[in-house]
Amino acid sequence: MNLAPLPRLVFEPAVRTALAEDLGLAGDITSAAVIPSDHRSRFALAARKPGVIAGLDVAELAFALVDPAISLTRNVEDGAKVGAGDVIALVEGPSRGLLTGERTALNFLGHLSGIATVTAGIVEAIAGTTASVVCTRKTTPGLRALEKYAVRAGGGMNHRFALNDAVLIKDNHIAVAGSISEAIRRAKAGVGHMVKIEVEVDTLDQLREAMDVGVDAVLLDNMTPELLRDAVSFVAGRAITEASGGITPATAAKIAASGVDLLSVGRLTHSAPCLDIGLDWS
């Protein structure tokens, strides 16, 4: 997998905030009281369950910000599939720093690996179709860049990062504007020629109205696989087709078989369970 690393500048503020939250006003009083200051240790970051790894750079930074003398040696890279019991990486250095940074590092690594794992499951479910899996803006506030990176680590693609990336006309925009046609016309008049326009539709009649005016993509919301096939046939390649609405690993294959280009899945970031990863004495 050709996975571009996330720049440290992007995720360092989140790691610093998480460490500050955990250290509080007095720091790690347990490690300071129990562990001699000159003691050194080596621990293994090990997977408790099978999954896909994401967030090693973030975990490494969490340890390094606590104590620059801590080193992390990887056995795998982000995007790798691991089994239960597999050692992901070894961390070694001053014991106090290792134990102080443990929870923050594991919180990020487990959360992001959970997202990558759920994404990989849906990617696998639709293998053999022409569809791709994309995420949404249903992300944890402050962690969007990291969570969308984890989606890529799992083999998915990213939708909008922010409201200024593209125009996405949804039902409330249409209600305020008065009609799909009017909303699209206003969007075309209000943005530059480089900005793509997508509109959400629930019925074939709405789809016809949108295509009559012309858009770059259509978000086919909560349509059955049968209705999706009709919609894809009507669009006939004139716009990107994106299915959305409660897509799960169990329903993804039928939805992808309709011929849509994209499956938009909010659960990738808002409902993915944490991948259980532990820090074991080595």
Q: What is the pLDDT of residues 224-271, one digit of tens each?
A: 999 999 999 999 999 999 999 999 999 999 999 999 999 999 999 999
Question: Do residues 62 and 108 touch, judged by C-beta distance below 8 A?
Answer: yes
Strand-pair partners of 278 = 46
pLDDT at 42 over 80: yes
Neighbours of 33 (CB within 10 A): 7
- Joined together, the tokens standing for residue 95 give 């014991």
Nearest to 134 by CA among 114, 159, 115, 154: 159
Of the residues 8, 170, 208, 238, only one is catalytic, namely 170
pLDDT digit string, tens, across residues 45-103 = 999 999 999 999 999 999 999 999 999 999 999 999 999 999 999 999 999 999 999 99
Mean pLDDT of 4-17: 96
Of the residues 42, 74, 138, 229, only one is catalytic, namely 138
Of the residues 77, 221, 230, 276, only one is catalytic, namely 221
Residues in contact with 20: Cβ distance below 8 Å, sequence separation at least 6, in sequence order: none
pLDDT at 2 over 80: no
pLDDT digit string, tens, across residues 178-222 = 999 999 999 999 999 999 999 999 999 999 999 999 999 999 999
Structure confidence at residue 282 (pLDDT): 83
pTM of the model: 0.96
Instruction: Find how far residue 275's CA is from the centre of its chain.
Output: 14
Known active-site residue 185: no
- Joined together, the tokens standing for residue 204 give 């074939």
- Joined together, the tokens standing for residue 135 give 């995420």
Of the residues 200, 242, 261, 267, only one is catalytic, namely 200
Known active-site residue 38: no
Of the residues 103, 160, 196, 229, only one is catalytic, namely 103
Mean pLDDT of 37-41: 97
Question: Do residues 135 and 159 touch, judged by C-beta distance below 8 A?
Answer: yes
pLDDT at 1 over 70: no
Instruction: Kindly state the greatest CA–CA separation across the chain.
Output: 73
Known active-site residue 221: yes
Known active-site residue 226: no
pLDDT at 166 over 80: yes
Pairing of strands 167-169, 197-201: parallel
Residues in contact with 99: Cβ distance below 8 Å, sequence separation at least 6, in sequence order: 28, 30, 31, 35
Known active-site residue 200: yes
